[in-house]
Amino acid sequence: MKSVRFQMILALVTILCPLFAEAQLNLPIKTIGDESFYFYKTGNNESIQSIAQKLGVTVDQIITYNPSAKLGIAKKQLLFFPVSAFANQGKPQNVTSSVANETVTHVVKKGESLYGLARNYNMSIDELVQANPQANNGVKEGDVLVIPQKSLAAPIATAPVVTENAPQVQGDVKTIFHTIKSGETLFSVSKQYNTTIENLIALNPGIYPDKFVVGDVIKVQPNVTGTITIEKDVTKFYTYEVKDKETYESVAAAHGITANELRQANPDLKKLKKGKIIYIPQSGVETAVISSTNATEKELEQTYAKKMDDVYNTVHKIDSDNELNIGIILPFQLQKSNPPRQALLYTDFYKGFLVAVDSIGNKVNKKVNINVYDTQHNLNVTDSLLALDELKNLDIAIAPSEPKQLERINKFGQQNGVTVFNCFSTRNDDYAENPRVIQINTPTFYMMSLVNDWIAEKFKDYTIIYLDEANSEDKDIFASIKDYMSSNKRRTKTLNVNDKLEYNRLSQVMDPGMNYLFIPSSGRKELVNKFIGALTAAKSQRFDCEIALLGYPEYVSFLSDFKSSFQTVDTYIFSRFYKDEGARSRRVEQKFANMFGDKMLNTTPSMGLLGFDMGMYLLQSLNNSPEIKEDTPAYKGVQMDFDLKRVSNWSGLINNNVKMLHLNGSSMKESIIQ
């Protein structure tokens, strides 16, 4: 049936809800075109009111589908009602725990670990392993894990629910997980769990109608409803008086339908005669405000497909105006005449940020407002600042590393639609639950997952020798490596290095013709001093063996002391950052000195360069985009690179960047492992 578009705004929800979801009618059915309709033939002296009462419909419903009835009811007049609108749809019952407790599976992706997955799913590692005994020794890419629906009993209060009117909650609002299955869409899942599109998008910023990936896991809050404006295909039947010499073909052509459709609507007339009243079906689109519960999957898709960008931006409070508001909220402690070193480091970061603004600010197409706030290293001051209305208008907030201050600012960001950059802390993992948090320092568990995979591939024919110093084990890094190597059944040995390691003792554990990768138990400088002499001797004397050393991120800070030895041994150092000693870093440092009259503080990492890289990344990324997201182009920094990814559909973003420095012979090369 050719569609003729018409618009009709129906405002009263009490009228509209029955219009689009009613119990089926006890009437015969006929097919017209590709749609089925109930039909009713009127009797003598019937009125529109009596017919409505007899059929169990409203007067407005009769007129909606049969507009001519508004002028009066004739004897033997046909009235039509689409079956799709009266097919016993009704309101669905609340989603029960049996439906919500469906089996949820997670396919392990590269870079994921037991620790990270347990954190993402709000459970302990023991609980995750209990549900997946095969994962006792770790997980690898492609493994399939069962995720218990333990959070079904835990109401959630942090996710925003944005609907056109206030949301209606049927029962407790509880968060569960759902694994996307083949054929499912954002709209079908919304119907399955009786929740709104807005709520799904609010809980899962990583999804979109065209980014709804089979096998991915999403969060769902069942039984959250609201009123929405939908566009619904509606067929109306108009009465028409046949004119002289008109035929089915001519009337159909004049009204944009087929002659067969017209015949199907008028089965009692073999041919048209002048003066006869016939029924002409016309398709169009009506706009109506209804409960989300009553919208069909097709109606949801038809309505939201046209405005998905606006919905996403509204839910996540993303402004596309020509202004960028950045808040730098750090404990500069200006109230002190002699601020502590930590405050001076934050000041260096801010100065480096201003160097970036000065470097490319005039190339940015937006007005950039930088607002600076001193928390004074005082939680009460932080709370007072966060109460200011002006902070709610920020697009970006840069937060300090102090745990309580960072926690408060992260929460503020989620509640007010402000994206928070955690540039300093590696211990905070709010990003796992808070989609407004961007974690710049790659989380240790994720970094080690990448490093472990890299070791497995790069040194697959090597025996691992652990250089273990009692009471100096780095539990986050060393334990991760040992667990990974054990689960992959790698050949390993352990050398105790509580005292200085002598070459002879080292050589005794090295079998002729074998390859060895040495991994210390921590990144302590004192531990390096204990074993580096023995390794350099082994490199020159055990020519029958290939050896290499895996270095910790801390090694970057004392390269000046051990660079030559590291190059001799053949050392690989993994780190989140590395200062490029070339002309680019020298230009930035010189500009810093020219602007502020002082050199950057000598720290590892350099806080001034971190501020510069942060400023450059923000200004470049937000120049032509309203937000920073997964597909934001990567940035190659002077000291730190930025390439963000989301660890789950409901999480914030983390920096997907781990550098690997290779020191060998007289060279030092930098690469990225992903």
* DSSP state letter for 193: T
The rounded distance, in Å, linking the Cα atoms of 405 and 386 is 10
For the stretch 351-399, pLDDT in tens is 999 999 999 988 999 999 999 999 999 999 999 999 999 999 999 999 9
Alpha-helix runs per DSSP H in 328-470 = 341-360, 379-386, 403-416, 444-458
The rounded distance, in Å, linking the Cα atoms of 631 and 20 is 39
CB 255 within 8 A of CB 191: no
Backbone angles phi, psi at 249, to 5 degrees: -65, -45
Cβ neighbours of residue 534 closer than 8 Å, sequence gap 6 or more: 501, 502, 503, 505, 506
Q: Delimit the domains of the chain by residue range.
A: 9-89+229-304, 97-226, 318-441+580-652, 445-575
**pLDDT above 80 for 288:** no
Model confidence at 538, pLDDT cuts 50, 70, 90, reads very high
Which tokens hold the place of 489?
């059944």
**pLDDT above 60 for 20:** no
Burial (0-12, 13-18, 19+ Cβ within 10 Å), 323: exposed
Burial (0-12, 13-18, 19+ Cβ within 10 Å), 320: exposed
For the stretch 47-76, pLDDT in tens is 999 999 999 999 988 998 999 999 999 889
Report, at the CATH architecture level, how domain 97-226 is classified. Roll (3.10)
For the stretch 92-118, pLDDT in tens is 456 665 555 678 999 998 878 888 899
Of 234 and 660, the structure prediction assigns the larger pLDDT to: 660
The rounded distance, in Å, linking the Cα atoms of 157 and 174 is 9
For the stretch 450-470, pLDDT in tens is 999 999 999 999 999 999 998
CATH topology of domain 445-575: Rossmann fold (3.40.50)
pLDDT for the residue 472: 86
Q: What is the dihedral of CA 78, 81, 83, 88, to 10 degrees?
A: -120
DSSP letters for 630-674: TTSPPB--SS--B-EEESSTTS-EEE--EEEEEEETTEEEEEEE-
CB 280 within 8 A of CB 269: no
Model confidence at 17, pLDDT cuts 50, 70, 90, reads very low
pLDDT for the residue 99: 58
Mean pLDDT of the chain: 88
Sheet containing strand 227-241, edge to edge, reads 9-10, 277-291, 227-241
Asked, colleague to colleague, whether 97-226 and 318-441+580-652 share their fold, the answer is: no
Q: What is the CATH number of domain 318-441+580-652?
A: 3.40.50.2300
CB 495 within 8 A of CB 501: yes
CB 285 within 8 A of CB 229: no
Q: What is the mean pLDDT of residues 155-170?
A: 42
Which residue, 62, 153, 47, 140, is CA-closest to 100? 153
For the stretch 591-630, pLDDT in tens is 999 999 999 999 989 999 999 999 999 999 999 888 999 9
**pLDDT above 90 for 8:** no
**pLDDT above 90 for 262:** yes
